Structure 1
């Protein structure tokens, strides 16, 4: 055996912004060996639209979603070009001024006109080009982020065709349809999820499977550093060929981690995802780094490079500036399960034996200075860390060692599925996250839905400052003219029956995807990132509030009696504004005032010169 270098490790390094060849992650500069072609729902939708007579297809979304990558693959599939030929055309013939026709020998009724990047033109020039592209000789594909696209379509040079595209674009947000007529298609890649898994494999799952399987790791079998290599250890933990059941569980937990980020409002692009997985597998190390650190470092340095530790805490070989180049790594620490104590899990990982196998590379830690051992095996819990500190420094070192080991064990417990599945979201910091998932996965029966609605209504009351002597299923709305109740007395504008309050998935708000042509779910890899609070007022008008996981968590915390107002200030303001709009539209009787006082409902009626006070409805 000898010190080997695995080319695949260096391929993954090119996806990281620490490497000089990082530009390989951008479609325009990629070489075929670095390409990772993921068959996304968006790719299949765009290809189908082009084949069935689409006039224009708009690909909108943040940089990194793969708009240029999609265009290159459509050139290959629709017009018959090879990968390198298509990439050359992307760089030379995709400014929207020319039509790319099918390769000789390929039957295609239409060519492609592609606007690769609207930012290359001023809004006025881009608007003129869009107007000129309104012809039936080619399928037009426009790539632009939302802000730039709106600026172009609303510029001074925008004409009738631009106005038509703008109307279709804005309508897609209201009705959840990627196309109104089958000719103009809006594919919003900001709706695309790296964690959508309706087919059993998310985009993230497919990327991990591609990078951890196959013959790419064969050279590692002949390397003398294999047993001490954290990169190889990460690959083994996530490869289904090594342990199918354990790897599937770990990928499921990573998928939930990414889905949770998306559900609190963070948009994860495919570029973000690929950089994150390259980092989680390698920790920014290459083969020569592993060989050098193995020779020069003490034992047990590898645990810092376990993928589940890298997700939340950077190793000391990476600077803060380097880590800042990985956008996703700025977000994941917010969900760190290592910093949240759950008694049921802590008692198992700290006190019980045989939870984890002994001798695993990622669970070996340096022994404290007061110990006679060279290292400790965290599979034995924390007993070996507890020594006999004699001074303040030794006590501080011991406390830091205990914290480090416990955090790592909690993270490993999360990715290995130690503990009940119902605790997963609490492990990530959302004690009411399981309720949110029950809605988006349509897992609530009638009794459970009724109970959850009561909790939501109680939370809405708390946000308005209402206090009741006992929980009520009726939603009371404070008159917006009097603001939030603070004195124990509140004047009400309306009462909403529980039957008129509902909780829906966002996709359900737009109708069943199987019945609605061109539903947004058919255009991208989709997860429901919001639940909809629907309130129907006395005029039978439906008012909808889109709640992401943070807003939902805020309301359920309020239902429990306390919500940190500073932390949830934005969410509280949104919810209060929503309730105020409903209250303002409600019709109130001019001769009766409904109020809440000391937790009880009352009415005040005026009969001539007589004021009557009675119990409320």
Structure 2
């Protein structure tokens, strides 16, 4: 292996049209052929799966499920190797392999590995071949045998597994197996009583954790040392002017890593799982991306040409992270770039940030930040093209406005760079998270996720702000209260935009009756729990989007201006809460009259209720 061969091998992990990165088998074969090691690391689920096949602890079959690219086939290969399976056999084309394994000193069973169920089952509408039907029947039966002679390790996408079981001709074992698998998938459990089966949903894992492992494996790969050993002239591969070298150095910086990891952690909290394959696409593109080379991913031969043409700045790792080097159509069809694009980093800004970028060089109070964050970056900062475009933009000398359009594009790139450059000490000063659509994203990370992960209490003021936002949505009025949750309805419809009839006041502070509102961790995600006493409570999962929505509503945004989906989520939560209240309170009314409470607001938004009695 030399540096040029390593870069050529690394390109296969990137967003290239050949799509070799779609299949672990392709990368494994290329690795064997070239002698270049793959980017390898222990999958977070590897130890758990390995324990299922250790002597004395085998409990039955194992299913690995998840979305495409989660590393199911790769993990099957690791288990195969650790069980002393033949590497040559694994490198072949067969999707069904068998291996005898010892599960106790006196007993051996046969392990069947289906490393890609979707490639093994017959096409939709086709009949089942007799041998495959027999194997699937054996698979289903193995769930319910106390000591099966055949056990299975199966890799299957989420939908493929349930669909395959549904397609099997009807039999009691197949029906029972389908019910067991569906229950495990729906309940997000790994085991179920009376079934010799373990199911691991790899898409439930942390994208941020996968990012840590993948980045370490990439940065520590021996290929980079080969590049360093062979580096000669500044304008050659891994020379002083090489953008690939600079991008690797930047990915190694703790601040860049921390900010990129934060984005992936927020993706997790928004229900956007990023599989291993997509993370490797992201990291490869970050290092090798360039819009003006073949497939928009650099090879070793591209480096001298990029440097000679003065196009080094187009290889910026800060833009490559968001797929800025590839066409929009491919960017939106690549999951990781579509997910990161939702943050709109580069397209959101503030006056202060743009003043630094446009006027900072000559501004007395902003000059230091301009010099530190932009001018000092000789690779991707204020180069000659940026200065010229800025001058033309400020002076307005371009009648066709082409220079202005060019500078606006350069501003997008510089804003993206600032997101990864601004030091932690200046985050609040420049309102860093205003560079994204999630202005409260930093607060969500540092003051919600962090304390909950350490079993600490979230600040009462943050809970109060969420309650204030919910009150405004529940009532449709500009309620300012943060210490009580108002559950209100209209005379005819609980989902009405304006609800003046008060059903209940719920104290945020803990009461002796059991009432309280708190933010806590439920299944690894923040949730607002409203406790009503008598053992009754309702949870509202606090995703990043919901947190942003409620915070903005509390600060004065109209409930319908941010997200219709969020509004409907909160109203559904209100319906659940009213159902719990009705279950707790029952129906109370004095004989001969019905009493209502209506909400009224004063000029400061303080709510008070007024009793109205209706005689029957």
Q: Who is 2:293 aligned against?
A: none
In 1, distance between residues paired with 2:444 and 2:576?
25
Cα 1:53–1:404 change in 2 (3 A) is: same
Question: How do 1:83-482 residues align onto structure 2 when only pairs under 5 Å count?
Answer: 83-88=87-92, 91-92=93-94, 94-95=95-96, 99-102=98-101, 109-119=108-118, 120-121=120-121, 125=133, 128-134=137-143, 135=145, 136-154=148-166, 157=170, 159-160=172-173, 163=176, 166-167=179-180, 170-171=183-184, 173-174=186-187, 177-180=189-192, 183-196=196-209, 202-211=212-221, 214-218=224-228, 220-223=230-233, 224-225=235-236, 226-239=239-252, 247-283=253-289, 284-295=297-308, 297=309, 299=310, 301-312=311-322, 314-315=324-325, 318-323=326-331, 326-342=334-350, 350=360, 351-353=366-368, 354-356=371-373, 358=376, 360-363=378-381, 365-367=383-385, 388-393=395-400, 396-419=401-424, 420-421=426-427, 423-437=431-445, 438-442=447-451, 449-467=459-477, 470-479=480-489, 481-482=492-493
Contact 1:194–1:204 (8 Å) recurs in 2 = no
In 2, distance between residues paired with 1:263 and 1:428?
16
Structure 1 residue 195: deviation in Å? 0.8
Contact 1:531–1:548 (8 Å) recurs in 2 = yes
Q: Who is 1:506 aligned against?
A: 522
Deviations 1:224-252 (A, max 9, x none): 4234432222122224xxxxxxx122111
In 1, distance between residues paired with 2:458 and 2:271?
27
Contact 1:127–1:158 (8 Å) recurs in 2 = no
Structure 1 residue 421: deviation in Å? 4.7
Structure 1 residue 425: deviation in Å? 4.1
Q: Who is 2:292 aligned against?
A: none
2:99 is paired with a residue of what secondary structure? Answer: coil
1:392 is paired with a residue of what secondary structure? Answer: coil
Structure 1 residue 555: deviation in Å? 1.6
Cα 1:446–1:468 change in 2 (3 A) is: farther
Contact 1:462–1:561 (8 Å) recurs in 2 = no
Structure 1 residue 384: deviation in Å? 5.8
In 2, distance between residues paired with 1:24 and 1:475?
51
Cα 1:602–1:355 change in 2 (3 A) is: same
Contact 1:14–1:25 (8 Å) recurs in 2 = no
Q: Who is 1:7 aligned against?
A: 5
Contact 1:100–1:112 (8 Å) recurs in 2 = yes
Structure 1 residue 412: deviation in Å? 2.3
Question: How do 1:491-530 residues align onto structure 2 when only pairs under 5 Å count?
Answer: 491-498=501-508, 499=510, 500-507=516-523, 528=524, 530=525
Structure 1 residue 274: deviation in Å? 0.9
Gapped regions of structure 1 (runs ≥ 5): 240-246, 369-374, 377-381, 508-527, 610-617
Q: TM-score, normalised by structure 1?
A: 0.78
Deviations 1:452-472 (A, max 9, x none): 221111111222234266414
Cα 1:129–1:358 change in 2 (3 A) is: same
In 2, distance between residues paired with 1:162 and 1:477?
45
Q: Who is 1:379 aligned against?
A: none
Cα 1:24–1:594 change in 2 (3 A) is: closer
Cα 1:465–1:107 change in 2 (3 A) is: same
In 2, distance between residues paired with 1:81 and 1:164?
28
1:477 is paired with a residue of what secondary structure? Answer: strand
In 2, distance between residues paired with 1:34 and 1:25?
18
Q: Who is 1:512 aligned against?
A: none
In 1, distance between residues paired with 2:448 and 2:614?
47
Is 1:58 the counterpart of 2:58 in the alignment? no
Question: How do 1:530-541 residues align onto structure 2 when only pairs under 5 Å count?
Answer: 530-541=525-536
The structure 2 residue matched to 1:80, chosen from 78, 84, 101, is 84
Number of aligned residues = 546
2:64 is paired with a residue of what secondary structure? Answer: strand
Cα 1:137–1:566 change in 2 (3 A) is: farther
Q: TM-score, normalised by structure 2?
A: 0.78
Deviations 1:86-106 (A, max 9, x none): 333xx42x43xx642259xx9
Structure 1 residue 169: deviation in Å? 5.1
Cα 1:144–1:361 change in 2 (3 A) is: same
Deviations 1:278-320 (A, max 9, x none): 111101111222333444x3x2x221211111223533xx444
Contact 1:312–1:336 (8 Å) recurs in 2 = no
2:298 is paired with a residue of what secondary structure? Answer: coil
Cα 1:152–1:319 change in 2 (3 A) is: closer
Structure 1 residue 11: deviation in Å? 1.0
Cα 1:23–1:341 change in 2 (3 A) is: closer
In 2, distance between residues paired with 1:468 and 1:24?
52
In 2, distance between residues paired with 1:17 and 1:255?
20
Higher RCO structure (Cα 8 Å, ≥6 apart): 1
Is 1:604 the counterpart of 2:611 in the alignment? yes
Gapped regions of structure 2 (runs ≥ 5): 290-296, 361-365, 511-515
